[in-house]
Amino acid sequence: MLRRYEMYSLDPNASPAAVQRLTQSFLECGRFVPEVLDSAVGTNLSDAPVRLVWEHAYESPAAYQRYMVHPFHACILDRPLLADSPERIVTSNDLGAGLLGYECASPVYRLAAGVRRLVLVDLSPDRSPAAAARFDEAVARASDGVKGLVVSIVAENSMAAAWFDGVTPIAPPPRWSHVWEQGWESLAAFEGYRAEGREQWPGFVRESASVHYELVTPG
């Protein structure tokens, strides 16, 4: 499977109606493009310079490629998103996470309701498997015995450079080499965990950022 995220900052002059249309387009995408699985939207609750997060998934690269050429993508989604569209309501930001995601064998990310958090990291100096293994160990220590943490996945951010077909890298290595996806049963559970200060990243984590949001799923 391919797990995918899009994160957007919004034009402050965008009308509430336009923002609502974009949100509904994300939520309803799976009705029109059956390849789109587990679609949900969140409004950012963190200090990261984004407002909307769209999370979704695909059964395979072939399914993702069908989504990319589907008329709903071009006729509905692209209108508020593309830079050359007069209806664009999103803006650029410096987070470097406009699109990211990873491969997984099954939908282990699923969270019916609650708070999603993405911890974005860049492992230095060479993003090696050894550094990734050490990050896995640091995550395991940080999350051991934590109440309310119902999803915890660490993966390489493979989708960012292979955004066109989900397989072939066509862009430079992304700013964030790995992502730790968390699913929390409630905002209170996440805030309690954060107050404990468990996350202590070793020196091989060159840079990190965090985004969390409450899930809104199709009704």
**Domains of the chain with CATH codes:** 2-216 (3.30.70.100)
- pLDDT value at residue 29: 95
CA gap 146, 151 in Å, rounded: 11
Q: Which residue has the tokens 């498997």?
A: 129
Q: Which of 186, 207, 190, 206 is nearest to 198 (CA)?
A: 190
User: Whose structure tokens read 């993508």?
Assistant: 73
Locus of tokens 């015995």? 145
> What does the pLDDT read at residue 157?
96
Residue found under tokens 């209806």: 87
What string of H, E and C letters represents the secondary structure of 1-56? CEEEEEEEEECCCCCHHHHHHHHHHHHHHHHHCCCCEEEEEEEECCCCCCCEEEEE
**Three-state SS for 182?**
strand
Is the separation of the CB atoms in 25 and 83 below 8 Å?
A: no
Tokens 């790995």 found at: 178
Q: What is the pLDDT of residue 176?
A: 95
Chain-centre distance for alpha carbon 125: 24
pLDDT tens track, the chain, 219 positions: 999 999 999 999 999 999 999 999 999 999 999 999 999 999 999 999 999 999 999 999 999 999 999 999 999 999 999 999 999 999 999 999 999 999 999 999 999 889 999 999 999 777 888 888 889 999 998 999 999 999 999 999 999 999 999 999 999 999 999 999 999 999 999 999 999 988 887 777 888 999 999 998 886
Residue carrying the six token digits 């963190």: 46
**DSSP 3-state of 141:** helix
Structure tokens that stand for 164 in this block: 């066109």
Report which of 88, 87, 74 is spatially closest to residue 9, judged by C-alpha positions: 88
pTM of the entire predicted model: 0.93
